[in-house]
Amino acid sequence: MITRIELSSFMSHDHTVIEPAAGLTVLIGPEKVAGTIFRERWPVCGFELQ
């Protein structure tokens, strides 16, 4: 289970920490702020999103 996500100097994020709750976590927001960034970053972390 992923318990902490931290972004530093990545796209529009100077420093962002997300600590998702147990269960389903949904990230939403304007383009290039939330979901897009994580879809682009997951492959680097070894995860593949469909």
Query: The whole model's pTM is what?
Result: 0.48
Task: DSSP for 23-43, please give it.
Answer: S------STTTSHHHHHHHHH
Domain count, the chain: 1
Spatial CB neighbours of 8, under 8 Å, sequence gap ≥ 6: 14, 15
More confident residue, 46 or 19: 19
HSE-CB at 30 with a 13 A cutoff on CA atoms is 1
State the chain's mean pLDDT as an integer. 71
Return the SS3 of 8. Answer: strand
28: in domain: yes
Supply angle C-alpha 6, 50, 10, rounded to 5.
Answer: 25
9: in domain: no
pLDDT value at 49 more than 60:
no
pLDDT digits (tens, 9 = 90+) for 23-43: 877 766 676 665 666 666 665
Which residues span the domain enclosing 33?
24-50
